[in-house]
Chains A and B, each alone.
Chain A
């Protein structure tokens, strides 16, 4: 397998994985419901399958593309972030157990959110995918911090068009609670000291608070920040808070101002998507902010 994997290599890996996973589930059920002592061969087969599944996940993590997705307006650095650009059926997009490498990002990185305009067909995903709404948005509570800027860009994901929005800043810690990274149920990256920064169940937009379901909140525990979303990018671009990268620009050149900005008034649903098994649904609370 190449690093990063090719589309064909990825397809083979995923097909084999899903096949093994299905067989493992069958065996698991069979063994759990079997009366009497289970044949040794079934247990051995299940063990072997589990090992293969684990190896496949490792292979995926090691070889998933890490692409230039953004550029920090403060450090000037290109931000390389992992992403599975071949489709939503890759483990990268698994909202519950996203398989991603440790991200090494500019020291100014705060978080990455995103949107995804759905293409003509959806992938068969055996796990929930939460790629955001179809149009890019910003989080005013974060972006209005005086030391924070965001950058919106474009990347193809299979038949879809994705819009990652990276937030960068200085002196923001203690004042901003980062939100779960795009499509993921946690926030993490490697800071400039080489230490892993990790936070699970961080703040999410109010229209995507399904993660709170079933969670017990301790009395007196500080509640997560309530963040809203703003799809009207014009004023943020005008204020110089939101910069943009021309779709297809391999140099990742930062651009400012509304003139020629292709991200204003983009079509698409303003409701967060939940994708599962080739079907899209609104992601729980669909309140507009």
Chain B
């Protein structure tokens, strides 16, 4: 499977390659002001001399764009990790950063090359360009249909549902290979195995592994939790338990979703970090899946996950909202804070377009809740401005 960044055919814009090791020295020598969000980028210290030589090798016109990109990385007001999986083939990963609170101002896409040595930067006229590109992937060459479909589940139920859908797809593929009819029932034990597989193998072609990376904590669902989740999904009319409680079958609603996922064309994962109007840290995690004929939107909140079928227009609106900054992050203090000094508040209340996530790891130094940074798969403490030990 090819792991690539946006290629020129997908986004017709110039790409700039920047050595990762040059970024920190350049930010320092250019006296770039950084904010708390910008510190999330995990960049090596680098060598100032090499960075200067690299910079001076760039064309003056390029230097203008590169300087804008560097300042956007140093002081973003919103940072969105975007992962796009098209069919089962191409995985696209990039991070959108935007420095301005003005909605239609330019943004930058920041990715890394195969070896991780270089950053790949692209300037977007506005985040709407990215939203439009994702929308194009979701449209996938055919107008999606419409369906009244919306339900809300807990994060655990959501994972079990995805594990069930993965199992259904796996069973379907096996039945094809074995020239057998597909059994309608799925053993609870197999659902649990599907979930374990999804948690163990980071294969983004399956739903569970695609979703898990941006959940705040790698879930550990024991048999009891699985059982409770299945019961709840049954109450919501998505699955039906057999009389002996050992098997489940999909209801009409569940079967619609499962059929859609069998031939999913595009799946998109967006995890945005930002700040509220009163400078509180916040985040929002969303998924879009283009099934055979519908677009599925999944909004992962602290306590619940909303799943809905949406039309293309609604998907477009949601995407634009996801890239819309709300408030400015606090600037990074150039000197270490004095003990007892005011610290950044943890995310608690949701902003109009961003939702707070549960905090499940705490910084051993200051005791403040840490934030999961998907891009680096690490926890970050905004108070101490450092990553937690893994």
Contact = CB atoms under 8 A, between A and B. Distances in A.
Contacts of B332: 251
A4 B32 CA distance: 12
Contacts of B102: 74-75, 107-108, 170
A77 interface: yes
Contacts of B228: none
Contacts of B340: none
Interface stretch (B60-68, B108-116, B130-138, B359-367): B60-68
Contact of A75 (B63, B65, B101, B333): B101
Contacts of B30: 4, 66, 80
Q: Is the interface of B mostly helix, strand, loop or mixed?
A: loop
Given A77-B75, A78-B75, A192-B106, 17 more contacts: A2-B29, A4-B29, A74-B101, A74-B102, A75-B102, A76-B328, A78-B71, A80-B67, A101-B60, A102-B64, A107-B105, A193-B125, A251-B33, A251-B331, A251-B334, A252-B331, A253-B331
Contact of B64 (A170, A190, A251): A190
A33 interface: no
Query: Chain B CB within 10 Å — which of A67, A74, A77, A253 has the most?
Result: A77
Contacts of B65: 194
B56 interface: yes
A250 B33 contact: yes
Contacts of A75: 99-102, 105
Given A78-B71, A192-B106, A193-B125, A107 B33 contact: no
Contacts of A62: 56, 60, 63
B227 interface: no
Contacts of A250: 31, 33, 334
A106 B99 CA distance: 9
A262 to B, nearest CB: 19
A170 B67 CA distance: 24
Given A77-B99, A101-B60, A67 B105 contact: no
A252 B334 CA distance: 11
A147 interface: no
B193 interface: no
Interface residues of B, number: 29
Interface of B: 29-33, 52, 55-56, 60, 63-65, 67-68, 71, 75, 77, 99-102, 105-106, 125, 328, 331-334
A153 to B, nearest CB: 12
A253 B331 CA distance: 8
B206 to A, nearest CB: 40
A200 to B, nearest CB: 21
A3 B331 contact: no
A3 B334 contact: no
A247 interface: no
A61 to B, nearest CB: 8
A205 interface: no
A3 B333 CA distance: 24
15 contacts: A2-B52, A4-B30, A62-B56, A66-B67, A68-B33, A74-B101, A75-B101, A78-B32, A108-B102, A193-B125, A250-B334, A251-B33, A251-B332, A252-B33, A253-B331
Contacts of B99: 75, 77
A68 B100 contact: no
Interface string A69-100: 00010111110100000000000000000000
A274 B64 CA distance: 32
Nearest to B99: A77
Nearest to A68: B33
